[in-house]
Structure 1
């Protein structure tokens, strides 16, 4: 496992200066890494997908507990070094690791080979955390559970329930795929460089979609409802529906109060609205 001295040595060797553009903040505290792996509830049957492995602190801790680890790294310098780091620090387990140089926002199932991931465990770049999680859950139906570290406010939004002031688009869309929950805070001093925000852990367990209607259709309703979140759904969905009158008709057909607001609805409610639109074309 990598400690502070190891992290700085590797970064110096590679000429790495962490960049805000790539959201690079490297974990250098072994106890935090152990805590993340323990909270992920992995077994030897799991194929873990790690996004943004960086210098390999979390990667090295995942290898002993997972059957295999696929690490997706966008930085070519870091990607090229990771397998050698695994061989140096954990030679007996290095064969479990596969490194894929790719953008996690664009990676496809076929890019990951025949070892389809069952769990996502990652310290995600703050600036793309939600899009990455949603993309991977959509692209990889084999992902059954996971634990990610994100900015604390993002963790709140991902795990929020209807009626909570932080409930919004990330919360509703994540709920289509999974039961998402906060799994604890992470102090900023475990990173190098130290970020100016706190972090938090988010766990998820996949659930069945609440409807057979197309996910894209449901997500359009979600986007419209929260684009003007202070408005009633009758008003907020008028553009999506074509008129306020049709929006009200569809809402009533879905059993949703037209005077309600998006923050009060569960993902199943949004799905019923999409279903009503499908059954009542203009």
Structure 2
């Protein structure tokens, strides 16, 4: 069950959003360590906790996100570094935090640093969250490395009001999300997230701006929502086809999709009806190709394992 804590300032939020930003409006490295010590907190790998300790990087991320005046959901706010950057810029932030200690501390930190900020804190696992206090227009977050792709897909599926995403993720994951068909990093996540719009890398992030310093590099990756590609039913069928195609990467599509459409012969018939060569492999196809296959196979059986994909 979700627990919500709300701290709201005046409309427009962000105590330092008017005029020149105040250095006191954000957290510095020493303050972050002091807050962690106050909680007797040791960052855990279980929840992917690596806290941003550089205010300049926070402001660069917020400028790139361009979400002033929007309702923004932030996943894993931690001690509040990025949260304060967003509220400083005038975003209305709903922060989803799984760690109960951090969820309890964040409203107090924001109220102390930016009394006019607009913030709601939801204590919940972002992988299973089904509702938020407001309909989010954007997602801006330093996503936990171990669940970044599932969290993104869940939020995009659950909250159709999201128009803008900018997230900091492990470089390998970011390159995968922005990959194009035929590249070495292209896979099921690349094809799936393209349903909502074209993704692109939007910046590099040094590992030295985190505490503790992670063993991998990070990037900023994001998108702005594109035109609707079809119904929810079509999306689910398309994702089932994508899962089948990439579930056995070394196999040709006619074999890889046999489990989706019932047999290799049935898969071949669907592929031919969609104008797709059955001997191709999944990594050669773009989202539009997968949609054509899903449409051509709309009357074919899709096994239960893929219905919730």
TM-score, length of structure 1 as denominator length: 0.95
- Between the aligned partners of 1:127 and 1:157, the Cα distance in structure 2 is 14
- Between the aligned partners of 1:17 and 1:101, the Cα distance in structure 2 is 19
2:27 is aligned to 2
Does 2:76 match 1:52?
A: yes
Which runs of 5 or more structure 1 residues have no equivalent in the other structure? none
What is the 5 A alignment of 1:45-124? Answer: 46-93=70-117, 96-109=118-131, 112-113=132-133, 115-124=134-143
- Between the aligned partners of 1:260 and 1:209, the Cα distance in structure 2 is 27
1:24 is aligned to 49
> Among residues 154, 166, 170, which one is paired with 2:185 in the alignment?
166
1:201 is aligned to 220
- Between the aligned partners of 1:152 and 1:277, the Cα distance in structure 2 is 35
Question: After the TM superposition, which of the residue ranges 184-193 and 200-209 deviates more from structure 2?
Answer: 200-209
Does 2:212 match 1:188?
A: no
Which runs of 5 or more structure 2 residues have no equivalent in the other structure? 1-25, 303-309
Does 2:39 match 1:14?
A: yes
8 Å CA contact 1:47, 1:66 repeated in 2: no
Shift of residue 281, structure 1, vs aligned partner: 5.9
2:19 is aligned to none
Deviations 1:162-219 (A, max 9, x none): 1111110110110112211111111111000000010110011112342334322211
RMSD: 1.3
- Between the aligned partners of 1:122 and 1:265, the Cα distance in structure 2 is 30
- Between the aligned partners of 1:270 and 1:2, the Cα distance in structure 2 is 45
Shift of residue 257, structure 1, vs aligned partner: 0.9
Does 2:164 match 1:145?
A: yes
Relative distance call for 1:157 and 1:176 in structure 2 (3 A) is same
Relative distance call for 1:281 and 1:103 in structure 2 (3 A) is closer
- Between the aligned partners of 1:206 and 1:243, the Cα distance in structure 2 is 36
8 Å CA contact 1:51, 1:122 repeated in 2: yes
Does 2:63 match 1:43?
A: no
Deviations 1:205-243 (A, max 9, x none): 112342334322211110110011122111211222211
